[in-house]
């Protein structure tokens, strides 16, 4: 507010002043009406100025002695102004300092790599783990270089349009080119070297799946012959079981090969979930094909029983199947034990968490196969001893129930994996404690850690950084004496702004480096 004395005739009127309880602890400048400027330093606006005191003291005298004439006094109007920076409109003057990578400069501005060699190169902190720093360019330099190369913005726009049309035409002809390439390979022979996907089937889960495919394929062939010879419902269930295992493991092999594909623009995170998808479809296939047909054949056997021929060959084939299925089961068990030991988990935890879906499917299918062979042999033995064919039909129902249980477990575990379940609470607590114990972190909120499968975890946390620690980390790398000299040389608002912008950007870069360090520690 402001207060001044105005003379009108013989009376002096005092303009009212609303004094706000504001304490100003910054330096203020007083501008008077005659153009003079005074620096009052730090003051308290709750107090009265020297000019206001005589006014307030003489107010009663003015009203009581109206006939007395006061001397004419011209008091200056005082306005207190706080020095603040003007809000800036950030336009091309600021955005021309933006950085751009070499790849974007070549693609967006139609330049060559030789054109970028003449521009200023700036080393920046890399967001990737495999590189420490990477080279960027000033966008203003790239724009100027593109105008120098193409002559005008119109010429650059025409070149961009031409390249876009060429890209569209290339995409339209892509299918035809692939078709021609396939025909050439068929005619001249495919001499492409063995890919990494093929190499996956000679070790780890791929090896387990390939062994299971070969053994289950042979088992299906011999069990089918035994069923044709004997007509046993239990033997038919066993043949169907082996056929379902063979088809499902072929599907697992397809999932393993697809999961090895490199990421593309349509799938930037890759195809690792193809193993879980293949295992899920395999579980559904076991339920529909294995359990369904076994139940159907067992029910038909109960409703329409018929005598069974000699079971000698059936017993021999079941014995051979038990040995082969047991060998495949041992291969799967050894692979899971090795993987669980590497992850620091128990055998049960590794299977339940579906860490390796392909090996889990082989393990459960072969375990079910061994049990179903025992069930089928027992029921067939009871049938041959008693001559009652109902025991054989009950064995078929038992095999179907066992397959249904295995399929339900596979569907559940793979569905949970595809939905994105959290990691173990102990592991999440370790990650949380690692963040909270770091000096640069003041607090963390909304922590989420999702198991993506195939030894990949996506971790997310809202982090409240301690700005003082980040600033100290930056100051430790600076020459304090030189920094003090820069501070002492600041005299104007423009110099203060330049000083703050310079060191503010460096502090933000320091914060980025701290984030990279925390990410590395978490990994």
- Sign of the dihedral defined by the CA atoms of residues 161, 162, 167, 172, in that order: positive
| Cβ count near 265 (within 10 Å) | 5
Cβ pair 110, 163 in contact under 8 A: yes
Q: What is the pLDDT of residue 340?
A: 82
pLDDT band at 465 (very low <50, low <70, confident <90, very high): very high
Q: Which of 24-38, 131-145, 346-360, 458-472 has the lowest mean pLDDT?
A: 24-38
Q: What is the pLDDT of residues 87-139, one digit of tens each?
A: 666 566 666 678 888 888 888 888 888 888 888 888 877 666 666 777 888 88
Q: Which of 226-235, 330-339, 498-507 has the lowest mean pLDDT?
A: 226-235
Query: Is the pTM higher than 0.85?
Result: no
Beta-strand runs (E) in 338-474: 441-453, 456-465
Q: What is the pLDDT of residue 416?
A: 80
Q: What is the pLDDT of residue 129?
A: 61
Contacts for 289 with CB less than 8 Å, ≥ 6 apart: 240, 243, 244, 247
Overall average pLDDT of the 426-450 stretch: 90
Q: Which residue has the tokens 């003051």?
A: 43
For residues 105 and 115, give the distance between their C-alpha atoms in angstroms, rounded to a whole number. Answer: 10
Q: What is the pLDDT of residue 460?
A: 92
Q: Which of 40-44, 148-152, 305-309 has the lowest mean pLDDT?
A: 40-44
Q: What is the pLDDT of residue 201?
A: 67
Beta bridge partners of 240: none
Q: What is the pLDDT of residue 90?
A: 58
Q: What is the pLDDT of residues 176-222, one digit of tens each?
A: 777 677 666 656 554 444 445 556 666 677 778 888 888 888 888 88
Check pLDDT > 70 for residue 476: yes
Closest by CA to 471, choosing from 511, 501, 441, is 511
Distances, alpha carbon 75 to alpha carbons 72, 354, 405, in Å: 10, 87, 99
Q: What is the pLDDT of residues 265-321, one digit of tens each?
A: 788 777 878 888 888 888 887 777 778 878 887 888 888 877 766 667 777 877 887
Q: What is the pLDDT of residue 24?
A: 39
Overall average pLDDT of the 161-183 stretch: 78
Q: What is the pLDDT of residue 462?
A: 92
Structural domains of the chain, ranges and CATH numbers in brackets? 92-188 (3.90.530), 198-419 (1.20.1510.10), 425-522 (no CATH)
Q: What is the pLDDT of residue 95?
A: 62
pLDDT band at 365 (very low <50, low <70, confident <90, very high): confident
Q: What is the pLDDT of residue 194?
A: 43
Q: What is the pLDDT of residues 501-518, one digit of tens each?
A: 889 988 998 999 899 899
Q: What is the pLDDT of residues 403-434, one digit of tens each?
A: 888 888 888 888 887 887 888 888 899 999 99
Q: What is the pLDDT of residues 253-265, one digit of tens each?
A: 888 888 877 777 7
pLDDT band at 66 (very low <50, low <70, confident <90, very high): very low
Q: What is the pLDDT of residue 40?
A: 44
Q: Which residue has the tokens 């039909």?
A: 393
pLDDT band at 8 (very low <50, low <70, confident <90, very high): very low
Q: Which of 8-17, 242-251, 474-483, 491-500 has the lowest mean pLDDT?
A: 8-17
For residues 62 and 64, give the distance between their C-alpha atoms in angstroms, rounded to a whole number. Answer: 6
Please provide the distance, in angstroms rounded to a whole number, between the alpha carbons at the two ends of the chain.
60
Checking phi first, is residue 192 left (phi over 0); if not, alpha (psi -120 to 50) or beta? beta
């Amino acid at each position: 507010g402001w207060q001044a004395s105005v003379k009108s005739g013989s009376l002096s009127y005092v303009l009212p002043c609303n004094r706000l309880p504001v304490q100003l602890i910054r330096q203020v400048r007083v501008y008077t009406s005659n153009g003079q400027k005074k620096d009052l330093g730090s003051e308290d606006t709750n107090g009265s100025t020297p000019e206001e005191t005589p006014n307030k003291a003489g107010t009663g005298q003015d009203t009581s002695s109206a006939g007395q004439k006061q001397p004419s006094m011209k008091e200056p109007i005082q306005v207190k102004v706080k020095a603040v920076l003007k809000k800036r409109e950030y336009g091309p003057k600021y955005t021309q300092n933006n950085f751009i990578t070499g790849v974007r400069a070549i693609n967006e501005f139609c330049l060559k790599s030789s054109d970028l060699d003449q521009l200023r190169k700036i080393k920046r902190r890399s967001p990737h783990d495999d590189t420490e720093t990477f080279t960027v360019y000033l966008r203003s330099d790239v724009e100027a270089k593109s105008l120098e190369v193409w002559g005008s913005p119109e010429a650059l726009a025409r070149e961009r349009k031409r390249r876009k049309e060429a890209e569209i035409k290339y995409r339209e002809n892509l299918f035809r080119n692939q078709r021609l390439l396939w025909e050439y390979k068929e005619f001249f022979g495919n001499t492409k070297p063995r890919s990494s996907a093929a190499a996956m089937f000679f070790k780890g889960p791929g090896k387990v799946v390939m062994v299971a495919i070969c053994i289950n394929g042979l088992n299906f062939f011999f069990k089918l012959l035994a069923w044709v010879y004997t007509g046993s419902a239990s033997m038919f269930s066993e043949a169907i079981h082996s056929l379902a295992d063979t088809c499902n493991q072929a599907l697992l092999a397809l999932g393993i090969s697809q999961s090895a594909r490199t990421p593309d623009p349509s799938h930037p995170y890759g195809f690792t979930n193809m193993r879980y998808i293949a295992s899920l479809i395999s579980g559904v296939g076991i339920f529909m094909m294995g359990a369904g047909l076994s139940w159907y054949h067992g029910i038909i056997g109960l409703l329409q029983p018929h005598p069974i021929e000699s079971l000698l060959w059936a017993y021999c084939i079941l014995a051979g199947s038990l040995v082969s299925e047991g060998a495949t089961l041992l291969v799967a068990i050894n692979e899971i034990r090795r993987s669980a030991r590497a992850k620091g988990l128990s055998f049960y935890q590794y299977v339940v968490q579906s860490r390796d879906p392909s090996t889990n499917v082989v393990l459960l299918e072969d375990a079910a196969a061994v049990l179903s062979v025992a069930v089928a042999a027992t029921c067939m033995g009871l049938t041959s001893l008693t001559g009652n064919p109902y025991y054989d039909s009950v064995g078929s129902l038992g095999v179907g129930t066992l397959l249904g249980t295995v399929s339900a477990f596979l569907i559940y575990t793979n569905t949970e994996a595809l939905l994105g379940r959290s990691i173990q609470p102990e592991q999440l607590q370790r990650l949380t404690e690692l963040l909270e114990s770091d000096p640069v972190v003041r607090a963390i909120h909304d922590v989420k850690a999702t198991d993506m499968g195939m030894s990949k975890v996506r971790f997310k946390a809202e982090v409240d950084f301690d700005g003082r620690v980040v600033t100290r980390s930056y100051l430790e790398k600076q020459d304090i004496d030189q920094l003090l000299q820069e501070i002492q040389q600041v005299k104007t608002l423009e110099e203060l702004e330049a000083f703050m912008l310079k060191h503010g950007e460096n502090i933000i870069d320091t914060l980025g480096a701290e984030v990279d360090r925390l990410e590395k520690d978490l990994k």
